[in-house]
Amino acid sequence: MRRCQRCGQKAVVYLPQHRLSLCKEHYIEWYLKRVESTIREFKMFGKDDRVLVAVSGGKDSLSLWDALCRLGYTADGLYIDLGIGEYSQRSRLACERFAKERELELYVLELRKEIATIPEIKEVESRPACSFCGQLKRYYMNRFAREKGYHVIATGHNLDDESATLLSNVLSWNMGYLSRQFPVLLEGDGFVRKVKPLVKFTEKENALYAFLSGIEYVEEECPFSEGASSIEYKKTLAQMEEKSPGTKLRFYMDFLRRLHPILQTQEVELRPCKVCGEPTTAEVCSVCRLKERVIPKLLSSSPSS
């Protein structure tokens, strides 16, 4: 039986990459300290900042929201209802229950009121749903946070997300994406600062925190993510991690320390979208272009037209 290295009680968690065995209480303590040190290391935000946490009802975002509140930050939640049938209903309920139990402020933005639901858009778009879904979430998250006066948007991206994205970007040498892959994207030109305080935690570490803290989250995956490329990259990295613990953290952190600074040479020129005014590199932003394509098709296919 493994013993907690802090108190000698029975350990519930063993973290091979850190060679650390911890009991429930000390795991939660370790997790919170690591969230705090990541926020400080990357100068993400301070106690005076108003933080908006993008919550999906999953383990990562709810663990993040919980941790930020326990650490004494001012953090409200934003749930974007994507209208994906039962999956969205369950996710929304998980977020609403979480906020109610802790007396936290949760905003809900319904995508069907802004453009259409993800399944409706998918009917008329050939791209993978995750591709335009991510684009829409980033757009509405930024607009909402800016309009409500939040200083920072925090998302629950974890080490597995970041190392899988890094692997994908390296395999295709996508220099634009590589130069922007960082746990802090600074504010400016209409963008609110975006931060990822959980980048040093694996998905399993976040799930353990959620389980041990009694956070009820939605375990089921979005039906549109079936066969997603990121799962294959994550499984490949998991195989490497099993053989050599610490590989993922080293891969990601060494990228941030060694390669990322070298890539910061190109300035991106931003301007307001001529339709909606949101920041973009093109004349018309990608969401307005999506609306232009999708809305006429949806109107012509609706039974009332």
Tokens found for residue 128: 């993978």
Integer Cα distance of 225 and 164 in angstroms: 15
Which of 108, 170, 228, 275 lies at the binding interface for other proteins (CB under 8 A)? Answer: 228
Task: Give the residue, chosen from 3, 7, 9, 14, that forms a contact with other proteins under the rule CB under 8 A.
Answer: 14
Amino acid type, 103: E
What residues pair up with 191 in beta bridges, in sequence order?
188
Q: Beta partners for 76?
A: 52
Q: Which is nearer to other proteins, 185 or 238 (CB)?
A: 238
Cα of first residue to Cα of last residue in the chain, in angstroms, is 68
What distance in Å separates the CA atoms of residue 199 and residue 180, rounded to the nearest whole number?
Answer: 15
Shortest CB 132 distance to other proteins, Å: 9
The reply to whether 261 sits near other proteins by the rule CB under 8 A is: no
Verify binding: residue 238, other proteins, rule CB under 8 A.
Answer: yes
Instruction: Specify the residue, 42 or 177, whose C-beta has the smaller distance to other proteins.
Output: 177
Q: Which is nearer to other proteins, 146 or 200 (CB)?
A: 200
Smallest separation (angstroms) from other proteins to the CB of 299: 27
Residues of this chain, 179-208, that bind other proteins according to CB under 8 A:
202-204, 206-208
Kind and range of the H or E run holding 138? helix 129-147
**Cβ within 8 Å of residue 123, ≥6 positions away:** 298, 301
Binds other proteins (CB under 8 A): choice among 134, 188, 223, 261:
134
Which C-beta is closer to other proteins: that of 132 or that of 150?
132
Q: Measured between alpha carbons, how far is residue 8 from residues 213, 218, 241 in Å?
A: 20, 33, 27
134: Cβ contacts below 8 Å, ≥ 6 apart? none
When asked if residue 233 is in the footprint of other proteins (CB under 8 A), the reply is yes
How near is the Cβ of 212 to other proteins at its closest, in Å?
A: 8
Pick from 47, 40, 44, 41: nearest CA to 184: 44
Are 129 and 218 in contact, with CB atoms under 8 Å apart? no
Rounded to a whole number of angstroms, the minimum distance from the CB of residue 165 to other proteins is: 5
Residue from the set 168, 179, 213, 286 that interacts with other proteins by CB under 8 A: 168
Spatial separation of the C-alpha atoms in residues 214 and 196, rounded to whole Å? 22
From 15, 32, 185, 231, residue interacting with other proteins (rule: CB under 8 A): 231
> Taking a C-beta distance cutoff of 8 angstroms, is the pair 212, 12 a contact?
yes
* 235 vs 271 by CB, closer to other proteins: 235
For other proteins, the closer CB: 41 or 232:
232
Q: What is the DSSP letter of 81?
A: E
Out of 73, 234, 278, 294, the residue judged to bind other proteins by CB under 8 A: 234
Enumerate binding residues for other proteins (CB under 8 A).
2, 12-14, 58-60, 128-131, 133-134, 160, 164-165, 168-169, 202-204, 206-208, 211-212, 219-222, 225, 228-231, 233-235, 238-239, 241-242
